[in-house]
Amino acid sequence: MKFNTKTIHGGQEHDPAYGSVMPPIYQTSTYAQTTPGGHKGYEYSRTHNPTRNALENALASIENGKFGLAFGSGLAAIDAVMKLLKPGDEVISTNDLYGGSYRLFTKIYQDFGIKFHFIGMQNADKIADYVNANTKLIWVETPTNPMMNIIDIKAVAAISKANNLILAVDNTFATPYLQQPLDLGADIVMHSATKYLGGHSDVVMGALVAKDETIAEQLYFVQNASGAVCGPQDSFLVLRGIKTLHVRMQRHCENGKAVAHYLNNHPKIENVYWPGFENHPNHDVAKSQMSDFGGMISFTTKGNNMADAISIVEKLKVFTLAESLGGVESLCGHPASMTHASIPKEEREKTGVVDSLIRLSVGIEDEADLISDLEQAIG
């Protein structure tokens, strides 16, 4: 089954009760039993819920995995992966990553005795220098948030396999429409399903997908034991979102390309970070592991003046100044004071998250309106 068909039919079946084409919203916490332990596969909705299971089957299908898990948020999904570790274990992580991930790693799990190495992974060979007997997990974002750095998943997977490590890839920016990490050797794929998978800025959710049954069973245990699951209404919304993922991503990519080239030619813009440019570091890797380059773009103004960046995001009208990304509407943000404010200034600036950096989530509006909006805001 091809991807565009999978988004609509993958892992899905019509509801057996009445033939409902869309899975019903099973808004229930518990299920009737005929005798203790005698039920129809469902006993309590923290453990299983038919609507959530339908979503989890769809997630597994579009990522070419076997096991899908849905959580109450992207951070809850990351938290579940971290709970596979124990004190004394070490994690090698991308140094340019979502501020919430960095906060979870350094403010919670570091205090539990987990050691983190935050390194640039654009050259995958550098990762091997940090592997030791305590290393258990490699955590990758690609493209990274917000610098759009590209990491060679296949190369990192080779290092992971050679050292018997778990490789987890945050695929939020690319989505399975553009990139499928499990096929490149990853063990776990993570999504903030709040973003492109939901696609309409109306739900908060996280997701994990795996191929290996042993890893999946460990994650299912954490999901049930910790209880950070999503509800049936949210499950229904993300399942609905997945069914249009392919058509939305096509427009995100088209608009993203147009906006990136416009910014790249603007005299007041210093740097534009978008993996579709031939001079973008690891552009060839992006071409090999992604089918297109997405709708996420970051850029800096000349002079690295925070006031200029703030002025631009405040003047934008079609782009909405807001947290998050991946919705049908275009969003803009100032990472230094918003999504990455939890990272110390000296640390975030090492990766390029300077005060003048602006991040765009290019939506599916008409590209002429988006460019016109940027033109009036930048001046």
Residue 265, CA atoms < 13 Å, CB-side half-sphere: 8
Catalytic pick from 46, 66, 103, 154?
A: 46
Upstream peptide bond of 143 is cis (omega within 30 degrees of 0): yes
Where would I find the H helices in the chain? Answer: 3-9, 50-62, 74-82, 99-103, 153-162, 175-178, 213-226, 232-242, 245-264, 283-289, 306-315, 345-350, 367-378
Determine contact, residues 184/296, Cβ cutoff 8 Å: no
Determine contact, residues 137/92, Cβ cutoff 8 Å: yes
Upstream peptide bond of 344 is cis (omega within 30 degrees of 0): no
Annotated catalytic, 46?
yes
DSSP characters over 186-208: -SEEEEETTTTTT-SS----EEE
Annotated catalytic, 292?
no
Q: How many helices (H) and strands (E) does the chain have?
A: 13, 12
Annotated catalytic, 195?
yes
Catalytic pick from 98, 102, 220, 262?
A: 98
Nearest Cα residue to 74 out of 162, 178, 171: 171
Instruction: Let me know the angle formed at the C-alpha of 288 by 286 and 149, rounded to the nearest 5 degrees.
Output: 15
Neighbours of 186 (CB within 10 A): 27
CA dist 134 and 349 (Å) reads 29
Q: Dig out the tokens for 266 from the structure.
A: 């603007």
Catalytic pick from 79, 170, 187, 234?
A: 170
Annotated catalytic, 98?
yes
Q: Dig out the tokens for 76 from the structure.
A: 């809850």
Alpha-carbon distances of 123 from 44, 127, 153, rounded to whole Å: 46, 8, 11
Residue 209, CA atoms < 13 Å, CB-side half-sphere: 28
φ, ψ (nearest 5 deg) of residue 328: -65, -25
Q: Which amino acid is at 92?
A: I
CA dist 59 and 36 (Å) reads 32
Which residues participate in catalysis according to the annotation?
A: 46, 98, 170, 195
